[in-house]
Structures are given as C-alpha cells and as structure tokens.
Amino acid sequence: MIQKLLTLFLIVNLSACGLAVTRPKLAMAMAQTAFIAAKTAKAQSLAPGLYRKAEFYYLKAKSSYRRKYFNKAKQYATLSKKFSERAEFVAVRKAALKNL
C-alpha cells in the first residue's frame, strides 16, 4: 500500500514539472521578427557571420520549441534576436556607407 502511494506521488510530481514552464511565445515572435528584419536588410551578404549565427540560433529555438524544451527555446530565441539585431545594424551601416 505504501509503495503504491509512493509511486503515485512520484508520478504526479514528475508530470507536474512539465507544467511549470510556460511557452516562450513572445521571445519566439521577437526572434522571428528580428531575423526577418535582418534578412530584409540583406545581412546575409553584408554581415554574413552574424547572420549565420542568428539563423543557427533561430533554427535551434524553433526545434527546441517543437520538442517542448521551452527553457532552451527561450535561450536560443534570445541569442537569435541579439545576433539578428547586430547583423541588421551592421548591414544597414555598410549599405549607408556604401552610398556616400
């Protein structure tokens, strides 16, 4: 009887851990928007290193989100946003300097 109760308690506790993490919808949306903005600024040709990092982390974030690893997805989305914004900035700066 005690063993069954202990097993039931363990199952309930382990299943509840998955519910404690919320889906990082905002972080994913912001990463997607930043990545699209970098692509629009032609960062793939003007800032290829930063663009590749942004794309790598964006794809990792999407994969982690699909597999329900929400903590990792949020971390990767944040990194993707950071590199996307840097790539966009560098691309816009290079394009502006080219036109001078």
Tokens of 15: 């299943």
Length of the chain: 100
Residues of the chain with pLDDT > 90: what percent?
Answer: 77
Q: Which of 96, 94, 97 is nearest to 47 (CA)?
A: 94
Cβ within 8 Å of residue 53, ≥6 positions away: 79, 83, 87
> What global pTM score does this model have?
0.79
- Dist. CA 54–CA 71, nearest whole Å: 18
pLDDT in tens, 76-88: 999 999 999 999 9
Q: Which of 16, 17, 14, 28 is nearest to 64 (CA)?
A: 28
- Dist. CA 51–CA 38, nearest whole Å: 7
pLDDT in tens, 55-74: 999 999 999 999 999 999 99
Handedness of CA 40, 46, 48, 53 (dihedral sign): negative
Handedness of CA 61, 65, 71, 77 (dihedral sign): positive
pLDDT exceeds 70 at position 5: no
